[in-house]
Structure 1
Amino acid sequence: MANLLYTSVSKFGGVNSVYHKVVSSFPKGMQMAFAYGSGVFKQEGQKDTKQNMMDFIFVVNEPAVWHEQNLKQHASHYSFLKRFGPNVITMVQESAAGLYFNPIVPFGDRVIKYGVISTKTFTKDLVQWNKLYVSGRLHKPVMIIKPPDDDTVKDALKTNLESAIHFSLMFLPEKFSELDLFTKVASLSYTGDFRMLFAEDPFKVENIVSAGIDNFRVLYQPILLSTDYLYWDEKEKSFEQEYTYNSRLYHLDKIPGYFLGRIGRRDVETVYSMRDVLAQDSQCNNLLHDSLDEIVGDSSKKQSLKGILTGGLFRSSRYGSSKCNKWLKSGKK
Structure 2
Amino acid sequence: MMKALEVDGALGHDPSQKVTQEMLREKKDHMEEVVPLQDLIAPLDSMPPVEFAFAYGSGVFAQSRHARGSSTDAPMVDYILGVSSPADWHSKNLDKNPHHYASWLSWFGGRAMSNVAESMGAGVHFNAFVPWKTKKIKYGVISVDNLVKDVYTWQRLYIGGRLQKPVRLLVDRIHGEEMNRKNLQAALTAALLLLPTEFTEEDLYATICGLSYMGDVRMLFAEDRHKVRKIVQGSSTRFHELYRDSINTYASREILHSPPQFSPDLKARFKQANRISTKYELLSSLPACVMQRLARQTGTQYDSSVLANMAIAEAVVNSKEGHTKLVTRAVSSIVRTSSFRQVLSGVLAAGGVNTVRYVGRKIAKAWQSRQ
- After TM superposition, is the score higher than 0.5? yes
What does 1:92-131 align with in structure 2 at a 5 Å threshold?
92-95=116-119, 96-131=121-156
The question of whether the paired residues in 1 share the 8 Å contact of 2:35 and 2:60 is answered with no
Deviation track 1:271-296 (CA, whole Å, cap 9, x = no partner) reads 42212322333522111111111111
- Give the TM-score, by structure 2 length: 0.83
2:284 to 226, 234, 253: 253
Q: Which amino acid aligns with 1:279?
A: V
The question of whether the paired residues in 1 share the 8 Å contact of 2:52 and 2:174 is answered with no
The question of whether the paired residues in 1 share the 8 Å contact of 2:190 and 2:286 is answered with yes
Unaligned runs of 5+ in 2: 10-30, 303-307
* 1:43 equivalent in structure 2: 63
Instruction: Give the secondary structure class of the aligned counterpart of 2:236.
Output: helix
> 1:171 and 1:314 mapped to 2: Cα distance?
40
Instruction: Give the secondary structure class of the aligned counterpart of 1:268.
Output: coil
> 2:235 and 2:152 mapped to 1: Cα distance?
25
> 1:219 and 1:24 mapped to 2: Cα distance?
28
Verify: 1:314 aligned to 2:353, yes or no.
yes
Q: Which amino acid aligns with 2:42?
A: K
1:230 to 242, 253, 256: 256
- Give the TM-score, by structure 1 length: 0.92
Instruction: Give the secondary structure class of the aligned counterpart of 1:312.
Output: helix
The question of whether the paired residues in 1 share the 8 Å contact of 2:164 and 2:183 is answered with yes
* 1:19 equivalent in structure 2: 40
Identity %: 33
* 2:20 equivalent in structure 1: none
Verify: 1:281 aligned to 2:306, yes or no.
no
Instruction: Give the secondary structure class of the aligned counterpart of 1:87.
Output: helix
Bigger Cα Rg: 2
Structure 1 residues 2 and 208, CA gap change in structure 2 (3 angstroms)? closer
> 2:72 and 2:281 mapped to 1: Cα distance?
40
> 1:139 and 1:240 mapped to 2: Cα distance?
22
Deviation track 1:67-102 (CA, whole Å, cap 9, x = no partner) reads 111111111111111111111111112232110000
Shift >4 Å, 4+ stretches: 8-15, 47-50
* 2:301 equivalent in structure 1: 269
Structure 1 residues 49 and 247, CA gap change in structure 2 (3 angstroms)? farther
* 2:336 equivalent in structure 1: 297
Count the aligned residue pairs.
Answer: 327
Unaligned runs of 5+ in 1: none
Instruction: Give the secondary structure class of the aligned counterpart of 1:115.
Output: strand
Q: Which amino acid aligns with 1:26?
A: M
Q: Which amino acid aligns with 2:162?
A: R
> 1:204 and 1:295 mapped to 2: Cα distance?
20
1:150 to 167, 170, 174: 174
> 1:57 and 1:38 mapped to 2: Cα distance?
14
* 2:23 equivalent in structure 1: none
The question of whether the paired residues in 2 share the 8 Å contact of 1:175 and 1:241 is answered with yes
Deviation track 1:297-326 (CA, whole Å, cap 9, x = no partner) reads 111111011111101111111111111111
- Root-mean-square deviation (CA), in Å? 2.2
Deviation, 1:150, is 2.3
